[in-house]
Amino acid sequence: MSILLWSLGITSIFSFYILYSPNPFRNINIPSKHPSTNDHQHQSLFLNPKSPLRVITPKQDLHGYKECDLFTGRWVHDPKGPLYTNWSCPTIPDSKNCRKHGREDVGYVHWRWKPDKCELPRFLPKTFFRIVQGKTMVFIGDSVARNHMESLLCLLSQEETPIDKYTDKEDRERTWFFPSYNFTLKVLWSKFLVNGDERVINGSSSGVFDLYLDKVEEKWAEKLNGLDYIIFSAGHWFYRPLNLYEEGKLIGCVYCDNPNVTHKDPDFALQRVFNASLKYINRCENCNSKLLTIVRTFTPAHFENGQWDTGGNCNRTSPYNNETPEREINLDNSEWKFRSAQLEAVERAKNEGEKRGKRFGSLDVTKAMFMRPDGHPDTHWDNRWMKGYSDCVHWCMPGPIDVWSDLLLAAMIKAGDF
């Protein structure tokens, strides 16, 4: 038993560094907006696409993509590349700046998500600002939620450099402000969305959590007043030993060795958590009557040849395609169960929300990101605490994560905000 607790403790410590992405904004570099000659040469050597993309704006083809399934498609070559670079984004976090930390290939930024039956418009900062002018958007979730906010921040900074308004002592909460548009962008750290307490044994962290599935975390619940958009996400922290409670009673556990407690899969806990969180939004009396709550579905890690602590890496340089047999999507995988749990929770919230005037939507990015093993930092990250370990959970910037903001803008337009 002592060996098990020691192992869980070590795992908890390393997981803390992998998933918390500590202080990504503390050492912000504001680099030159002009990349080196070598980088222009690298980009010019990229292969020509088989089918060029037609760049459209929402106004040009609004009806076509409003009725389209944006989440079923493929990645296609994109010679234009990202809207920003490692040199043009003043807020890019060190831990996601893969080029700065030695990544030499540039092909991974030259792919674009192509829905099967329509075009996905490129993200346009001016269009986004037109929608959110005078409003507030908050990302609530773990470090991957923060990764999403960081990507959006870089995209928007190409139109206006934001003002850093607030950070808490632990750098877990952050507020940015765009004065020209009176737009506020926030991130609130919440690894489980509900109350989760780590058990401490003999003064040491155990890696085992008590999770209260029906009690949302106050640190985000008490800050809903005045919000116009909420982007919810969570998942990676559910791959831990969890004791599950509802109404104060132990109802089961995840990854536990207690024979007297009902064993549950991680997606069971995840679905209960999203049900509780979205129900709380639905019952919120002080919330904005036009509040739009969007759930981003789970995104997989891509460790190969081991896990993060056993030599696993993610050093591929191109996406999987739809015909890649080695990466067939298995609906029994926990990642797909997480996705299903989240989408079911959204549908349940929609049904209740129709009676209350609340709005809910989803960004179903799971399939698209399954196909991008090339988009993670791997060893090209600010890993001064974990020399030699690969980050195959978070995403390089710029990189495939930027499509989440393309889809977010589309979701806002579909919701009638354009």
Active site residues: 143, 391, 394
Residue 34 CB coordination number (10 Å): 11
Q: In the Cβ-directed half-sphere of 392, how many Cα atoms lie within 13 Å?
A: 24
What is the C-alpha to C-alpha distance for residues 319 and 285, in angstroms, rounded to an integer?
A: 45
CB under 8 Å to 258, separation ≥6 — which residues? none
Q: 405, 152 in Cβ contact below 8 A?
A: yes
Nearest Cα residue to 302 out of 227, 369, 209, 223: 369
Which amino acid is it at 411? Answer: A
Whether 318 contacts 374, CB under 8 Å = yes
**Per the structure block, which two tokens stand in for 191?**
């690894």
CB 274 within 8 A of CB 341: yes
Measured between alpha carbons, how far is 158 from 397 in angstroms, rounded to an integer? 14
Residue 403: both structure tokens together = 């499509």
Helix ranges, 82-142 (H): 125-132
> Residue 79: left if φ>0, alpha if ψ -120 to 50, beta else—which one?
alpha
d(CA 244, CA 262): 10
Residue type, 257: D
Q: Which two tokens stand for residue 136?
A: 């507030």
How is 311-341 classified by DSSP, letter by letter?
T-B----S---TT-GGG---TTSHHHHHHHH
Cα–Cα distance between 67 and 239 in angstroms, integer? 36
State the Cα–Cα distance between residues 340 and 334, nearest whole angstrom.
Answer: 10
Q: Reduced to 3 states, what is the DSSP secondary structure of residue 370?
A: helix
